[in-house]
Amino acid sequence: MTTSDGGPLAAALQDLQNIFADRLLAMVAYGQPDATPATSLAIVGAITADDLDRCASRAASWHRAGCATPLLLTREEFAGSLDAFPIEYGEILDTRRLIFGSDPFAGLSIRTEDLRREIETLVKGHLVHLRENYIDCRGRQSDINALVTDGAPGFRLILRRFARLEGFPSSSAADLSAYAVKRPGLDARTVGDILAIASQQNAGVDGVRLYPAYLRAVEQLWLFIDRWKAE
């Protein structure tokens, strides 16, 4: 089965077809449909250094068209890395939209323990990052605001993957806010503000004022995840 995409991925698809020919098995878009730049994954039969050189010569044109450089993997590499990158690859599995070929991920899934372990690692790293980088901001409000803005998408990703792990709806900000209040017991307003920043809909949200509540939310999420055990 083949589908088409008239958006920014069209040019990248054509280039990859020219470069890989019949070695291009599938291409999927993933992430939010309206995200900029558009993100994609190409599954190929094999990848050579010459292939990478030819892709490199086209990368600037992809970026101008609003397309991030596609991830290039064989199906075996993708399937064999699910345990190492369960959050990142889980996002691809959950949000993929077929652009070319047949769905290469049918039958693949993320193991619960692999996902729980990476979520724990990420949320603990997120907390350390928020503390250490706040110190490095040395009170500069523009830097603190940037720290909160840059960190918000990571917070959203962690929250979304854990909601899915527990079987809760997670497709919208409202879903994630409801989950965050019900399960980890986070403050609804704080989560709403962080998610607004992550979605670039943060009119009226002051990152400097939000930082202390953001930090408390991540601390609370760490404790919840640290104690969580699959039933």
Domain limits, the chain: 9-101, 112-227
The SS3 assignment for 29 reads strand
Rounded Cα distance, 63 and 116, in Å: 34
- Residues 50, 120: Cα–Cα separation, whole Å: 39
pLDDT tens for the chain, residues 1 to 231: 444 555 889 999 999 999 999 999 999 999 877 778 899 999 999 999 999 999 999 999 999 999 999 999 998 898 888 888 877 888 888 888 999 998 888 888 878 888 888 888 889 999 999 999 999 999 999 999 999 999 999 999 889 888 988 889 988 999 999 999 999 999 999 999 999 999 887 767 899 999 999 999 999 999 998 887 655
* Sheet (strand 24-30) strand order: 71-73, 39-44, 24-30, 97-101
CA–chain centroid gap for 93, Å, is 11
